[in-house]
Amino acid sequence: MRDTDKPALTNAPQMYVHYCEEDGCKEWGGFGNSPSKAVPVRWWCWEHFPHKSYEQEQELRRKLEAAELDRGKTQ
Ligand SMILES: [Zn+2]
């Protein structure tokens, strides 16, 4: 009589990890959007989130440009 090979319980903890889905982007995807409950939520970082309002987009542009200028000063 031999022990039957039982499949090991390999239930990895279901961690809810979602990074920005933009190619090459390593940012945390903190902003999700789904057109309906039947569609899985997709996640992006704020910079790549495609559902920002026009005002939010402009605000982000200003921030990025300011950061760009700062970098230019320090180098
Ligand atoms: Zn991103």
Tell me the pLDDT band of 8, cut-offs 50, 70 and 90. low
Q: Over pLDDT 90: what percentage of the chain? A: 65
Which tens digits make up the pLDDT trace of 13-25?
555 678 999 999 9
Distance between CA 7 and CA 68 in Å, rounded? Answer: 54
| 65 Cα to the center of ligand 1, angstroms | 17
Mean pLDDT, to the nearest integer, of 22-32?
94
Distance in Å, CA 56 to ligand 1 centroid = 16
How far is it between the farthest Cα atoms of the chain?
77
> Please, what is the Cα angle at 65 between 62 and 71, to 5 degrees?
140
Decide: pTM greater than 0.75: no
Using CB atoms within 10 Å of the CB of residue 44, give its burial: 0 to 12 exposed, 13 to 18 middle, 19+ buried: buried
CA of 7 to the centre of ligand 1 (A): 39
Domain assignments of the chain as residue spans, ordered by start: 31-74
What is the per-residue pLDDT across 40-53, written as a single tens digit (0 to 9) for each? 999 999 999 999 99
